[in-house]
């Protein structure tokens, strides 16, 4: 083989090798073969704390350092929740959801996907607290004002602050029962995200075009 | 040799032959796979520095799309960056296969093998983060799978996959961490590369300039003519039917998506473990061909040549335990790969693997000349072939009348053997060596040439007519060129007289005196 012919062959082989690299670099590999859509449940929320609270007596308070004088002491655990998903009236999934962490005291996270055929689908999602709660927050107590006025020194207003904090924690927790029952028109290859809106405290639906379906019902 | 190793060796021989036919052995890219991977790493860093200037953490896909749309620089530099990463993976895998097939994966090369695996693994991880940076449909697919795999591990309390679920924008912190990894991992690769070559003397890090610039030019041309496709921006509300997938980096992706995370982790870990265990499985007993070099302190003059020539830094000069004033060579068997190059470097023939020292070679050559074939060398061309030379080359030289002798490596050959053959009446001596960039002993052809023609210790004595000696490179796929070189050499010998017989010279007295009296014998 002459030098020129070999050179031409080498250039051609290099061109083929480079073309193969370019082709292999952007090969159209199938991802979602199905033509249907997908319902994705995704949210994080704080589980409710189920606790028994007791008011610390004035005698007990007096025995404690001033900065340790918490008016109400609570003991308990974080609630677990039952998730029930039904598509077109058929049960698609049931699960028990707890807060993350060894003691389940971290926020709970939910991420589940359901492949659904495109078209009009009835979707029902229930997220319900499993335990009964008998927690009574001091923030709701009629006597709080009276006890607050008794605070003095660095404890001034402490009882009120504690009540506000307990109330805030209660509100930050996910409601004990969330239900979304709706009919959705699901386009082929569309992903519909169902999430918990922390501000509105409802389950809501997010779609690409921005149309939100807030047909959920939240009830305490 | 295990069947798998033999199979890869055969495959490599076919590929090597094809590439040598196309490019010639000096430019055969398959011989340079390791250095091409390093060159691509450099190219990736250079092009990546440019690209990072235009990357926006707040709008990753939009900023990459803007780069891809820039016809002047952005488009082709982005594509060049992508193709260079693909070539890095290809070159690194070829390098790995070559080392495995050539039994260069155990003993003192274990560190290089393990660090090479790490380099390849980190290279994959770096490419992964790079594709996620682009945040197109393929980047999203990689991110989702990465999250799926990580979420299967009990590490994170919140599933990572939630940030791609669509209930909120993907946080900039994710892209920041991803970009940080994409920048930090190449730095880690630099450190690993240092480790990878730390047991080599004079490591060759870059391919020949001609090869480097040819590859860079070809990649640039490809990037200009066939820009790398950028998929549609990642969208959590759409199920993409296809993604433009980089098969060199994400070849495992379609399989992993069909398996559970546990199965993917299991297969991946078993695969990695198998690769890590290869040095153990391919290890040979340190005897015979694989026996480490030993030093005969009676013969060592402390000249310091063998430590200089050893390609593995396996030899050091230490204090003698007798009263001679010189140092003595010491071989670390853990670092010695039994290449025998030290034997070729030692004028007094005091070092080398058992059976392959200069003295052993000389004794074997003398026995050959005095044996049943005595006198057959007279008037013949003797071809001393490296054991790695393809059998087809050896057979073709034999057919042309050359008297074949074997040596484990061209660098192992002691020049006294060459002189002995010339003085025994041989018309000429041809040493058949491997391509210098494909020498399993790394520097065999290089040191042989220096010793034969440039007076490097242990040099071929000046009294030997250099016109009777030549070195030809015998690469698979270059038989014609090797035979042409042989024919030209044989033709040039026709006009020369037969060399003086060895009997007219006393080789032992021609050599430098060896102070044997010090050992008290």
ipTM for the assembly:
0.90
Residue pair A216/A201 in contact (Cβ under 8 Å)? The answer is no
In three-state secondary structure terms, B409 is coil
Q: Average of pLDDT values for B195-210?
A: 96
Residue pair B166/B218 in contact (Cβ under 8 Å)? The answer is no
Of the candidate ranges A74-78, B241-245, B277-281, the one whose mean pLDDT is the lowest: A74-78
Is the pLDDT at B498 greater than 60? The verdict is yes
Tell whether A61 is within 8 A of chain B (Cβ).
Answer: no
Q: Of all residues in chain B, what percent carry a pLDDT higher than 90?
A: 87
Regarding predicted confidence, which is higher, B10 or B377?
A: B10
**pLDDT (0 to 100) of residue A135:** 61
> Which one, of A217, A174, A207, A215, lies nearest residue A43 by Cα?
A174
Q: Alpha-carbon torsion B342, B343, B348, B351, what sign?
A: positive
Do the chains contact at B243 and A111, CB–CB below 8 Å? no
Tell whether B82 is within 8 A of chain A (Cβ).
Answer: yes
**pLDDT (0 to 100) of residue A215:** 43
Residue pair B245/B138 in contact (Cβ under 8 Å)? The answer is yes
Question: C-alpha angle B181/B184/B188, rounded to 5°?
Answer: 125
**pLDDT (0 to 100) of residue B413:** 97
Measured between alpha carbons, how far is B12 from B281 in angstroms, rounded to an integer?
A: 20
Q: Average of pLDDT values for A159-166?
A: 81
**pLDDT (0 to 100) of residue A219:** 37
Residue pair B59/B221 in contact (Cβ under 8 Å)? The answer is no
Q: Average of pLDDT values for B457-484?
A: 95
**pLDDT (0 to 100) of residue A166:** 79
Residue pair B202/B312 in contact (Cβ under 8 Å)? The answer is no
Instruction: List, in order, residues 6 or more apart from B282 with CB less than 8 Å away.
Output: B2, B5, B100, B103, B105, B106
Encoding tokens for residue B514? 């060896």
Q: How many CA atoms lie within 13 A of B157 on its CB side?
A: 12
Is the pLDDT at B503 greater than 80? The verdict is no
Q: Average of pLDDT values for B123-146?
A: 97
Cross-chain CB nearest to B243 (options A29, A42, A111) = A29
Q: Average of pLDDT values for B173-193?
A: 96
The H or E element spanning position B220 is helix B209-225
Shortest Cα distance, chain B CAs vs residue A162, angstroms: 29
Of chain B, the end-to-end C-alpha distance in Å amounts to 43
Q: Average of pLDDT values for B119-131?
A: 97
Cross-chain CB nearest to B166 (options A24, A31, A193) = A193
Tell whether B157 is within 8 A of chain A (Cβ).
Answer: yes
Measured between alpha carbons, how far is A203 from A141 in angstroms, rounded to an integer?
A: 30
Do the chains contact at A21 and B90, CB–CB below 8 Å? yes
HEC secondary structure over B124-136: HHHHHHHHHHHCE
Do the chains contact at A190 and B237, CB–CB below 8 Å? yes
Instruction: Give per-residue pLDDT as tens, A10-45.
Output: 999 999 999 999 999 999 999 998 899 999 999 999
pLDDT confidence bin for A101, thresholds 50/70/90? confident
Q: Which residue has the tokens 């070195």?
A: B471
Tell whether B47 is within 8 A of chain A (Cβ).
Answer: no
pTM: 0.89
Q: Average of pLDDT values for B10-28?
A: 94
Is the pLDDT at A217 greater than 50? The verdict is no
Is the pLDDT at B481 greater than 50? The verdict is yes
Please classify residue B59 by burial: count the beta carbons closer than 10 Å to its beta carbon, then call 0-12 exposed, 13-18 middle and 19+ buried: middle
Shortest Cα distance, chain B CAs vs residue A215, angstroms: 17
Q: Alpha-carbon torsion B386, B388, B392, B395, what sign?
A: positive
Instruction: List, in order, residues 6 or more apart from A183 with CB less than 8 Å away.
Output: A120, A121, A122, A123
Measured between alpha carbons, how far is B67 from B371 in angstroms, rounded to an integer?
A: 75
Q: Of all residues in chain A, what percent carry a pLDDT higher than 70?
A: 84
Q: Which residue of B has its CA nearest to A16?
A: B222
Encoding tokens for residue B420? 């002995």
Shortest Cα distance, chain B CAs vs residue A174, angstroms: 17
Is the pLDDT at B400 greater than 50? The verdict is yes
Cross-chain CB nearest to B239 (options A10, A189, A207) = A189
Encoding tokens for residue A44? 């994080």
Encoding tokens for residue B502? 């060895």
Q: Average of pLDDT values for B173-185?
A: 97
Measured between alpha carbons, how far is A38 from A48 in angstroms, rounded to an integer?
A: 30
**pLDDT (0 to 100) of residue B519:** 44
Instruction: Give per-residue pLDDT as tens, B142-177.
Output: 999 999 999 999 888 788 999 999 999 999 999 999
Cβ pairs A/B, distance under 8 A: 124
pLDDT confidence bin for A67, thresholds 50/70/90? confident
**pLDDT (0 to 100) of residue A154:** 65
Burial track B134-152 (b if 16+ CB lie within 10 A, e otherwise)? bbbbbbbbbbbbbbbbebe
pLDDT confidence bin for B499, thresholds 50/70/90? low
Q: Which residue of A has its CA nearest to B251?
A: A24
Q: Of all residues in chain B, what percent carry a pLDDT higher than 70?
A: 94
Q: Of all residues in chain A, what percent carry a pLDDT higher than 90?
A: 54
Do the chains contact at A44 and B165, CB–CB below 8 Å? no
Cross-chain CB nearest to B242 (options A18, A22, A29) = A29
Q: Average of pLDDT values for A44-71?
A: 87
Q: Average of pLDDT values for A114-138?
A: 86
Q: Which residue has the tokens 């546990």?
A: B262
**pLDDT (0 to 100) of residue A147:** 52
Tell whether B246 is within 8 A of chain A (Cβ).
Answer: yes
Q: Average of pLDDT values for B8-16?
A: 94
**pLDDT (0 to 100) of residue A134:** 65
Residue pair B340/B346 in contact (Cβ under 8 Å)? The answer is no
Which value, in Å, is the radius of gyration of the alpha carbons in chain A?
29
Identify all chain B residues contacting A14, using CB atoms and an 8 Å cutoff.
214, 218
Of the candidate ranges A143-157, B58-72, B156-170, the one whose mean pLDDT is the lowest: A143-157
CA B385 from chain center: how many Å?
A: 21
Is the pLDDT at A139 greater than 50? The verdict is no
Residue pair B99/B105 in contact (Cβ under 8 Å)? The answer is yes
Is the pLDDT at A151 greater than 80? The verdict is no
Encoding tokens for residue B490? 């044989």
Q: Average of pLDDT values for B26-48?
A: 97
Q: Average of pLDDT values for A146-158?
A: 60
Do the chains contact at B240 and A32, CB–CB below 8 Å? yes
List, as one string, the DSSP characters of chain A: --HHHHHHHHHHHHHHHHHHHHHHHTEEEE-----SEEEEEEEEEBPPEEEEEEEPPHHHHHHS-GGG--SEEEEEEE--EEEEEEETTEEEEEEEE--SSTTS-SPEEEEEEEEE-SEEEEEEEEEEE-S------GGG-TTHHHHHHH--GGGTTHHHHHHHHHHHHHHHBPPSEEEEEEEEEEPTTBEEEEEEETTTTEEEEE-TT---B---EEE-
CA B362 from chain center: how many Å?
A: 31
pLDDT confidence bin for B369, thresholds 50/70/90? confident
β-pair type (B428-433, B469-473): parallel
**pLDDT averaged over every residue in chain A:** 85
């Amino acid at each position: 083989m002459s030098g020129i012919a070999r050179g031409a062959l080498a250039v051609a082989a290099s061109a083929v090798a480079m073309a193969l690299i370019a082709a292999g670099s952007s090969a159209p590999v199938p991802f979602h073969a199905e033509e249907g859509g997908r319902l994705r449940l995704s949210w994080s929320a704080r589980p409710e704390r189920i606790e028994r609270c007791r008011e610390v007596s004035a005698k007990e308070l007096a025995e404690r350092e001033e900065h340790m004088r918490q008016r109400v002491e609570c003991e308990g655990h974080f609630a677990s929740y039952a998730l029930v998903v039904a598509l077109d009236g058929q049960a698609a999934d049931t699960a028990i959801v707890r807060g993350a962490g060894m003691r389940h005291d971290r926020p709970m996270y939910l991420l589940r996907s359901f492949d659904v055929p495109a078209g009009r689908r009835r979707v029902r999602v229930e997220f319900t607290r499993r335990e009964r709660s008998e927690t009574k927050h001091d923030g709701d107590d009629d006597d709080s004002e009276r006890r607050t006025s008794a605070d003095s020194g660095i404890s001034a207003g402490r009882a009120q602050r504690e009540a506000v904090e307990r109330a805030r924690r209660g509100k930050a927790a996910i409601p004990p029962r969330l239900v979304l029952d709706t009919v959705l028109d699901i386009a082929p290859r569309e992903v519909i995200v169902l999430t918990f809106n922390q501000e509105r405290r409802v389950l809501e639906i997010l779609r690409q075009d921005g149309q939100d379906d807030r047909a959920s019902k939240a009830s305490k | 040799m295990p069947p798998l190793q033999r199979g890869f060796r055969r495959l490599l021989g076919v590929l090597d032959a094809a590439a040598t036919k196309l490019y010639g052995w000096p430019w055969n890219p398959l011989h340079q796979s390791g250095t091409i991977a390093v060159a691509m790493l450099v190219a990736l860093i250079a092009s990546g520095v440019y690209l990072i200037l235009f990357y926006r953490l707040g709008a990753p896909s939009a900023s990459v799309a803007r780069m891809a749309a820039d016809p002047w620089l952005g488009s082709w530099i982005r594509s060049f960056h992508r193709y260079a990463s693909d070539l890095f993976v290809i070159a690194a895998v070829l390098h790995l296969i070559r080392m495995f097939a050539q039994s260069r994966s155990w003993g003192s090369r274990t560190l290089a093998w393990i660090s090479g695996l790490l380099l390849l693994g980190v290279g994959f991880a770096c490419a992964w983060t790079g594709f996620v940076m682009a945040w197109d449909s393929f980047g999203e697919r990689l991110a989702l799978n990465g999250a799926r795999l990580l979420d299967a591990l009990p590490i994170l309390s919140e599933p990572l996959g939630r940030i791609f679920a669509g209930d909120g924008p993907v946080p900039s912190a994710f892209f920041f961490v991803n970009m940080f990894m994409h920048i930090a991992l190449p730095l880690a690769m630099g450190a690993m590369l240092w480790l990878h070559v730390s047991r080599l003397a004079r490591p060759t890090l870059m391919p020949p300039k001609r090869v480097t610039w040819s590859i860079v030019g070809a990649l640039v041309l490809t990037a200009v003519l066939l820009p790398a496709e950028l998929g549609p921006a990642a969208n959590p509300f759409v199920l993409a039917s296809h993604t433009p997938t980089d098969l060199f980096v994400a070849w495992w992706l379609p399989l992993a998506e069909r398996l559970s995370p546990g199965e993917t982790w299991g297969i991946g870990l078993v695969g990695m473990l198998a690769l890590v265990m290869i040095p153990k499985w391919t290890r040979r007993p340190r005897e015979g061909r694989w026996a480490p070099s030993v030093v005969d302190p009676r013969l060592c003059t402390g000249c310091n040549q063998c430590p200089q020539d050893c390609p593995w830094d396996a030899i050091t000069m230490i204090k003698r335990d007798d009263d001679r004033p010189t140092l003595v060579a010491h071989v670390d068997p853990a670092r010695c790969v039994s290449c025998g190059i030290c034997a070729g470097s030692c004028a007094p023939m005091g070092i080398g693997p058992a059976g392959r020292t200069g003295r052993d070679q000389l004794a074997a050559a003398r026995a050959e000349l005095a044996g049943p074939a005595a006198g057959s060398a007279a008037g013949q061309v003797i071809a001393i072939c490296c054991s790695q030379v393809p059998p087809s080359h050896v057979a073709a030289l034999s057919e042309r009348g050359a008297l074949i002798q074997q040596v484990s490596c061209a660098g192992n050959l002691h020049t006294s053997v060459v002189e002995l053959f010339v003085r025994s009446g041989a018309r000429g001596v041809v040493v058949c060596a491997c391509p210098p960039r494909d020498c399993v002993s790394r520097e065999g052809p290089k040191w042989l040439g220096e010793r034969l023609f440039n007076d490097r210790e242990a040099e071929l004595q000046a009294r030997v007519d250099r016109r009777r000696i030549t070195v030809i490179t015998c690469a698979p796929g270059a038989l014609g060129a090797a035979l042409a070189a042989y024919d030209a050499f044989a033709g040039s010998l026709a006009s020369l007289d037969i060399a003086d017989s060895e009997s007219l010279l006393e080789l032992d007295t021609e050599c430098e005196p060896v102070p044997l009296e010090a050992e008290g014998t």
